[in-house]
Every structure is written in structure tokens, then in C-alpha cells.
Amino acid sequence: MTKFMKRVLISLAIFFVGLISFVVYGLYLMDIEDRYGDLQQIYFDSKSDDIIINNLNGNTGKIKLKDRRIFVNTGNQILEIDEWLDPENKFIYNTDIYRPDNPNDYMNISIEEFNQRITSEKLKSISHLEVKY
């Protein structure tokens, strides 16, 4: 095998590996977009143990990311993000995500107490999402 032939084969191998990687990453992004739609910002911005606030009803929960899925732990139950945000299927979402040091302190508290803790502890908002269909 000549030097030229080795270079061509190595170049083709690198090209095909890059192409396959590009396709697999695109399919991963399509899976997230198909599963969450307008809620995909929550998937990409949040991490496990972030606190999520449903501004429509004042509920708080802790985010758990597992196997490319978003779950919300309310303390009593674990629900998928879309079930937790919109239990009546009205397709209206208004949510904020915060990343505190100790997320267990923010579970099952009222929205007024949560807002007081935000200002006193100067928590930074990770994401805000408002969607209305």
C-alpha cells in the first residue's frame, strides 16, 4: 500500500466518523425537541436538584434529569415536567428555575416565602420560560 493510498483511507475514515457523529448528535437534538417542544430550554439550562417554580399555581419542585427525561420531585410524588407544569392540559407554561446551594430547604414552601428567600439569599435565576399556545 502506498503512502498516498494510506492518506486517502485515513482521510475517508475521519470523514465518515465525523459524518456519523454529526448525524447521531442531530438525532439526539431531534429527540429532545420532539419530546419537549418549547420546554426544551428547561432541558438544556437546568441540572438535577435545581428548583423549579410554576408561576401559574405557585407550586415548587426539584428537577431530576434521568435518561434524557425531566422529572419534578414535589416531595410527595415524581412527575414528568409537562404533567407537573400543566396538569389540566391548557398548554400554558410560566416557570422559573433557580439553583440554590441546598435545594431541600425550598421544597413545599409557599410562593411568598420563596420570593423572600430569593431576595434575602440573592439567588440567581437560571431560566425563565413563558409559553402560551
Concatenated DSSP letters of 33-73 = HHHHGGGHHHHHH--TT-EEEETTTTEEEEEEEETTEEEEE
Q: What is the pLDDT of residue 118?
A: 82
Q: Which amino acid is at 72?
A: V
Q: Which tens digits make up the pLDDT trace of 100-114? A: 888 888 877 778 888
Q: Which three cell numbers, joined as nine digits, stand for 66?
A: 434521568
Q: Which tens digits make up the pLDDT trace of 65-75? A: 998 899 999 88
* pTM score: 0.79
Nearest CA to 133 among 97, 89, 76?
A: 89
Q: Which tens digits make up the pLDDT trace of 10-37? A: 999 999 999 999 999 999 999 999 998 8
- Other Cβ atoms less than 10 A from the Cβ of 103: the count is 18
Nearest CA to 123 among 91, 90, 101?
A: 101
